[in-house]
Amino acid sequence: MRTTTQILVIGGGPAGSTAAGLLAKEGFEVTLLERDHFPRYHIGESLLPSCRPILERLGVWDKIAAAGFQPKGGAYYFWGPEEWEVRFRPHGRDGSTSAWQVIRADFDKILLDHAREVGVDVTEGVAVKKLDFDGDRPVAAHWAEAKNPANSGRIEFDYLVDASGRGGVMATKYLKNRKFHNVFRNVAAWSYWKDAKQLDRGPSGAITVASVGDGWFWGIPLPDGTMSVGLVTGKDSFNAARNELGGVDPLYHKAIGDCPAIQQLLIEAEQVTEVKVEQDYSYAAEQFQGPGYLLAGDAACFLDPLLSTGVHLGTYSALIGTAAISSVIRGEIGETEAWDFYEVVYRRAYERLLVLVSTFYESYRGKEHHFFRAQQLSEKDWDGMDVQAAFDRFVTGIADLEDTEEVYRRIQGHLLGDESGKHNPLDNLNRVHEHKQAPEKPEKAINGLYLSYEPQIGIRRA
Ligand code: FAD
């Protein structure tokens, strides 16, 4: 194991391995420490098309395309009394599928192995236990082998990318700046089913999203023939129902029985795993950066499973982070300016999706249900975030999705494709926005800076 490195990346999930791989391809010395041995289980199986251009740039897309994952044509919603679909545009040089339903253990391993192949020094089974600081700047990490903690060491670095996921080494241990979302206080409970039916409508390989009572279900067809079926509901109603029904299993099965759209998919199916539960996953760090370090992916923020945005935000932050670190090391821009760019761009992407998720919840017509009423942003709901400002920034992005600043044009423009369903989920959002003043022309840059790929990934002056 090295004792010094130019860039240390903590965590080998999609955020960490994408950042590490991109940075190595830019010619830097990168070390990645991952606590687990891959393949390892992870939730988060439904990807967005926005990942594709990033994974192409990383050079791993062909491996993903050859891995036999389930092509995802979009999403199909049974949302209150309405049904609609979101159909992803084919994308990329060959116009082939732009998104996948993946088994994360396999997907994450492909990304991590690829990072190794492009020159990252990857060690698995090793956890970062402690960081040393010079003032506010982290300068070294103490690691220990997960299975044999006596095998330990220290590594010094110039720059740190914390991609340690929900564990969030920097945010939870040192900065203590992670704020949990008061609105999306949700619990997810899911398991896997074999012999589930394919949905008989909507884009092929779509994720099914179906509202039920106080919550909603996802149904994700996976490449191994199973279906991931998850219930998301409010924490209070989850706890009350669990107590009343005598456990998570009866709660989960009762909710399936109450949701005809999901029930019909599972009519001849067999549940093949236990029900897993996660909660407290909607949060954001107050700052996504500081001297010498960036937080990427879940280590920085996660909002809600509703729009399947986690891997998108992970790989997107990895891309912007690569641009920031690369330009700083090459002396093209100062650290403060680069880090500000990272903060603004990343937070804006996050807040935009936060508002979009909230709007989806608001558009649910069965407003008698507490869950959907509760999932609405208001200024006082969000500790530390100016929702109105976020809303306005979001308007800029969504209204000009196809013709916005350079940084979004290539990436975010592919987030949602043509809507050919009965109902356009963005109509609701646009209606709300009609009364807002639109900017005269789209911003071309942020604080006079933009992301560029030519000749290398970096931040350039407009
Ligand atoms: P992770 O994938 O969690 O990777 C972090 C890595 O860091 C881990 O491998 C961990 O072992 C390692 N690590 C942690 N601490 C240390 C340490 N101290 N030292 C070394 N290594 C360390 N996203 C989607 O895109 N689509 C979905 O359909 C979707 N569904 C979801 C459903 C639920 C219920 C939840 C909770 C999330 C869902 N997500 C989904 C979100 C998605 O799972 C995450 O956003 C995504 O995995 C984030 O990637 P990451 O690389 O930031 O973190």
Question: How many A from CA of 350 to the centre of ligand 1?
Answer: 16
Q: Whose CA is nearest to atom 29 of ligand 1?
A: 44
Average pLDDT in the chain: 85
Q: Whose CA is nearest to atom 31 of ligand 1?
A: 44
Beta-bridge partners for 271: 193
CA–CA gap between residue 414 and residue 396 (Å, rounded): 16
pLDDT of amino acid 446 = 72
Burial class (CB in 10 A: 0-12, 13-18, 19+), 126: buried
Task: Indicate the residue type of 117.
Answer: E
Q: Whose CA is nearest to atom 27 of ligand 1?
A: 44
User: What number does the ligand 1 atom closest to the CA of 15 have?
Assistant: 51
Q: What is the dihedral of CA 136, 138, 140, 143, to 10 degrees?
A: 120
Residues 6+ away with beta carbon under 8 Å from 95: none
Question: How many A from CA of 7 to the centre of ligand 1?
Answer: 21
pTM of the model: 0.91
pLDDT of amino acid 427 = 43
pLDDT of amino acid 413 = 35
- Residue 141 Cα to chain centre, angstroms: 26
347: helix, strand or coil: helix
Q: Whose CA is nearest to atom 40 of ligand 1?
A: 44
pLDDT of amino acid 448 = 79
ipTM over the 0.90 cut-off: yes
Residues of the chain with pLDDT below 50 are: 393-444
Residues 67-98 pLDDT 10s: 999 999 888 989 888 888 877 766 655 668 88
Question: How many A from CA of 42 to the centre of ligand 1?
Answer: 7
Question: How many A from CA of 283 to the centre of ligand 1?
Answer: 13
User: What number does the ligand 1 atom closest to the CA of 313 have?
Assistant: 45
Question: How many A from CA of 13 to the centre of ligand 1?
Answer: 6
Q: Which residues sit with their C-beta closer than 6 Å to ligand 1?
A: 10-16, 33-36, 42-47, 127-128, 163-165, 167, 169, 188, 278, 281, 297-299, 302, 305, 308, 310-312, 314
Q: The tokens 């107050």 sit on which residue? A: 286
pLDDT of amino acid 153 = 98
Question: How many A from CA of 301 to the centre of ligand 1?
Answer: 10
Question: How many A from CA of 334 to the centre of ligand 1?
Answer: 30
Question: How many A from CA of 166 to the centre of ligand 1?
Answer: 7
- Residue 305 Cα to chain centre, angstroms: 9
Question: How many A from CA of 443 to the centre of ligand 1?
Answer: 32
- Residue 101 Cα to chain centre, angstroms: 14
Query: Which of 34, 38, 120, 235 to probe ligand 1 with, by most ligand atoms within 8 A of CB?
Result: 34
User: What number does the ligand 1 atom closest to the CA of 163 have?
Assistant: 52
Query: Which of 311, 315, 346, 353 to probe ligand 1 with, by most ligand atoms within 8 A of CB?
Result: 311
